[in-house]
């Protein structure tokens, strides 16, 4: 099994198709289930993956379409029928990078789920990371983003025992505050080995000007897959 950790905040968890707290249940063809795509649920059991991937992980919030299923289907399309893709959803909406630091509840949960995902065999191929919107409100948070993200990458690689683990992050498409470009610059200029960046700028947003539309989540999933396949 090729295992991928999905982490970050709401645009990774998925708000595509959600309006006034209700998901419209529309699943694009690129996001439909496939018996070769599995998901590690909240109870730490593998099951056939389906949208919304984060429904029992980003608990208490209305989850919809995110990039994960489109990513997995594109990887399968490119790599053939012998591959099984295991998705480990960990994203939680509204979280700042400091809430993902080593020792926090979110970091410990991600680490525990990642370790659990390996118990039946397989290899963690990458962490897919989309976070930072909540770090655009205060200048200090935005300016500290690069250092905090680099430490997160170093720590998760160390704790998983994979020193060169691929991390694919998304440069922000939107933000909650005025310092979006400060965070984007940190993301685009990060220079750690085997850290790749997919640019979310230009992806269409919902009327809240923060969350990606369903179509944009599909586009992002395919972009992430192409980045992984080129790595």
Cα(163)–Cα(78) distance, integer angstroms: 26
228 within 8 A of 195, measured Cβ to Cβ: no
Question: What is the distance between the alpha carbons of residues 191 and 210, in angstroms, rounded to a whole number?
Answer: 27
Give, for 90, the enclosing helix (H) or strand (E): none
Q: Tell me the C-alpha distance between 104 and 146, whole Å.
A: 18
**In this structure, what token pair is assigned to residue 186?**
């940190």
Count how many Cα atoms sit within 13 Å of the Cα of residue 229 in the half-sphere of its side chain.
16
Residue among 25, 108, 112, 208 flagged as catalytic? 208
Alpha helices in the chain (DSSP H): 10-13, 68-79, 105-117, 139-143, 145-160, 180-188, 214-229
**Number of helices (H), then strands (E), in the chain:** 7, 9
The secondary structure of residue 205, as a DSSP letter, is B
Candidates 10, 117, 174, 216; catalytic one: 10
117 included as an active-site residue:
no
Which residue of the set 134, 211, 216, 227 is catalytic?
A: 211
Q: Is 155 a catalytic residue?
A: no
What's the rounded Cα separation, in Å, for the pair 122 and 127?
Answer: 15
CA 51 – CA 25 distance, rounded (Å):
9
Is 211 designated active site? yes
Of 170, 174, 1, nearest in space to 91 by CA = 170
Tell me which residues are annotated as active site.
Answer: 10, 208, 211
């Amino acid at each position: 099994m090729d295992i991928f950790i999905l982490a970050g905040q709401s645009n990774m968890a998925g708000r595509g198709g959600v309006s006034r707290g209700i998901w419209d249940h529309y699943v694009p063809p690129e996001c439909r289930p496939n018996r070769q795509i599995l998901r590690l649920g909240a109870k730490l059991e593998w099951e056939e993956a389906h949208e919304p991937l984060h429904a029992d992980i980003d608990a208490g919030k209305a989850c919809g379409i995110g990039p994960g299923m489109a990513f997995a289907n594109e990887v399968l399309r490119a790599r053939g029928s012998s591959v099984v893709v295991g998705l480990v959803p960990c994203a939680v909406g509204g979280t700042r990078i400091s809430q993902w630091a080593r020792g926090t509840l979110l970091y410990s949960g991600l680490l525990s789920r990642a370790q659990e995902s390996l118990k039946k065999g397989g290899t963690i191929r990458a962490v897919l990371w989309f976070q930072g919107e909540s770090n655009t409100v205060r200048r200090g948070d935005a300016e500290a983003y690069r250092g905090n993200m680099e430490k997160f990458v170093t720590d998760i690689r160390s704790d998983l025992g994979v020193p060169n683990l691929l991390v694919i992050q998304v440069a922000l498409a939107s933000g909650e505050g005025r310092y979006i470009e400060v965070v984007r610059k940190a993301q685009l200029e990060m220079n750690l080995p085997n850290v790749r960046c997919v640019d979310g700028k230009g992806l269409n947003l919902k009327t809240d000007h923060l969350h990606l539309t369903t179509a944009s989540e599909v586009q992002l999933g395919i972009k992430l897959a192409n980045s992984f396949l080129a790595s």
